[in-house]
Amino acid sequence: MHLLFAIDDRFSEQLKTTLYSIRQHTPKRAINVYVLQEQALLKTEELQFFCKQFDMQYHPVVIGSGSIFKEAPVSDRYPESIYYRLLAQNYLPKSLERILYLDADILCINDLTPLYELPLGEALYAAASHAKLTEVTNVLNKVRLGNYESEGYFNSGVLLMNLQQLRTEVKEAEIAAFIKKNQLNLFLPDQDILNGLYGDRILAVPDHIYNYDVRKNRTYETISFGEWRLDWVIEHTALLHFCGKEKPWQKGYRGRFGALYKYIDRARRKAENAL
| Angle at 180 (CA atoms; ends 175, 182), nearest 5 degrees | 90
Q: Do 120 and 203 meet the contact criterion of CB atoms below 8 Å apart?
A: yes
Closest CA to 100 of 115, 110, 111: 115
SS3 260: helix
In this prediction, residue 140 has a pLDDT band, given cuts at 50, 70 and 90, of: low
In sequence order, which residues have a C-beta less than 8 Å from that of residue 145 and are 6 or more positions away?
182, 185, 192, 195, 196, 199
Burial category of 227 from C-beta neighbours within 10 Å (exposed 0-12, middle 13-18, buried 19 and up): exposed
pLDDT at 200 exceeding the cut of 60: yes
pLDDT at 150 exceeding the cut of 70: no
Least confident window among 14-28, 149-163, 221-235? 149-163
**Cα(264)–Cα(261) distance, rounded to whole angstroms?**
5
Question: How much is the pTM?
Answer: 0.91
Q: Do 86 and 193 meet the contact criterion of CB atoms below 8 Å apart?
A: yes
What are the structural domains, with CATH classification, of the chain?
Answer: 2-274 (3.90.550.10)
For 231: left if phi > 0, alpha if psi spans -120 to 50, otherwise beta; the answer is alpha
pLDDT > 70: percent of the chain: 92
Strands (E), the chain: 2-6, 31-37, 56-62, 98-102, 106-108, 125-127, 158-162, 202-204, 212-213, 239-241
pLDDT digits (tens, 9 = 90+) for 78-126: 888 889 999 999 999 999 999 999 999 999 999 999 999 999 999 999 9
Q: State the Rg of the chain over Cα.
A: 18
Buried b / exposed e over 202-216, threshold 16 CB at 10 Å, is: bbbbebbbbbbbbbb
Average pLDDT over residues 246-253: 95
pLDDT digits (tens, 9 = 90+) for 38-64: 999 999 999 999 999 999 999 999 998
Q: Do 74 and 80 meet the contact criterion of CB atoms below 8 Å apart?
A: yes
| Confidence at residue 135, expressed as pLDDT on a 0 to 100 scale | 52
Number of H helices, E strands in the chain: 12, 10
Strand 239-241 vs strand 106-108: parallel, antiparallel, or unpaired? antiparallel
